[in-house]
Amino acid sequence: MVRGKLFGYIYLLLLAHLISLCDGQTAKRISVQKCDEYRRIISNKRGIISLTLNPKPFYYQSYNCSNVVELIVGGEAAKHGEFPHQALLGYPREDGSPEPYSFSCGGSLISDRFILTAAHCFSYGDPVIVRLGEYDLTVDSTTQLDFGIAEIIRHPKYRNSRSYHDLALVRLNETVLFSKVIRPACLWTNPTLNVSRFVATGFGKQEEGSTDLSTKLMKVQLDLFPPSDCGELFRDNRKFRDGIDEGQLCVGSLIGGKDTCQGDSGGPLQTITEPRSCIYNIVGVTSTGAACGVGNSKAIYSKVAHYLDWIEQVVWGV
The residues annotated as belonging to the active site are 120, 166, 265
d(CA 107, CA 88): 6
**43-48 vs 248-253, strand pairing mode:** unpaired
Look up residue 189 and give its amino acid. Answer: T
DSSP structure string for 244-307: S-TTEEEEEES--STT-----BT-EEEE-SSGGG---EEEEEEEE----SSTTEEEEEEEGGGG
Q: Where is 187: in which H helix or E strand? A: strand 186-187
3-class DSSP state for residue 76? strand
What distances in angstroms separate CA 77 from CA 71, 86, 215, 262, 300, one per listed residue?
12, 14, 10, 12, 23
> Between β-strands 129-132 and 145-154, what pairing exists: parallel, antiparallel or unpaired?
antiparallel
